[in-house]
Amino acid sequence: QVWSDYLSVRLHPKSIYVIRQYMHDGDCGCLEAFGQGESLLQDPGCIEELEDRLHFYVEECDYLQGFQVLCDLHNGFSGVGAKVTELLCDEYSGKGILTWGLTPTISCLHRSNGWILFPQDPQKNVYRLMNTALGIAHLSSHSSLFCPLSLSGSLGIK
């Protein structure tokens, strides 16, 4: 049903929060825009659930030094990550927040005469560019250290 079902490592149930409307058989399509992700965390029920899960782990810490956030930049999860880092910054202002902005590589195929890029939808490229720009701006403003991470030198953007 979800990506965590395929892991061989067992995760604590409090560490997984499934966004039901964006599952494979959910009500909505893809989570492809920064604003979609940001609006998910405008729901008071969602914020309350996230805070409960966060407090569960924080209370287990003897000496909390900070947080590490791994977040996709190229899709709507950049908006989710931006709101999560904002929440962490507000709730735990004295703690460090190390944020990793993750982007995929551009899809390509290797032939004997060189690399060939697969054609991509121009609208998806615009979404990817805008999500990445907004994600970098918002995540870096609420993080102690922001580090973009990609196997591509262009952050996955043509």
Q: Tell me what percent of the residues of the chain surpass a pLDDT of 90.
A: 42
Cα four-point dihedral sign 153, 68, 132, 123: positive
Q: Tell me what percent of the residues of the chain surpass a pLDDT of 70.
A: 80
Whether residue 68 is predicted with pLDDT greater than 70 in this model: the reply is: yes
Cβ pair 125, 57 in contact under 8 A: no
Nearest-angstrom CA–CA distance, 83 and 148: 17
Q: Which CATH number applies to 9-105+117-150?
A: 3.40.50.1440
Whether residue 155 is predicted with pLDDT greater than 80 in this model: the reply is: no
Q: Report the pLDDT value the prediction gives residue 85, as an integer from 0 to 100.
A: 95
Instruction: Give CA 38 to chain center in angstroms.
Output: 11
Q: Which of 4-8, 124-128, 153-157 has the weakest average pLDDT? A: 153-157
Of residues 75 and 28, the one with the higher pLDDT is 75
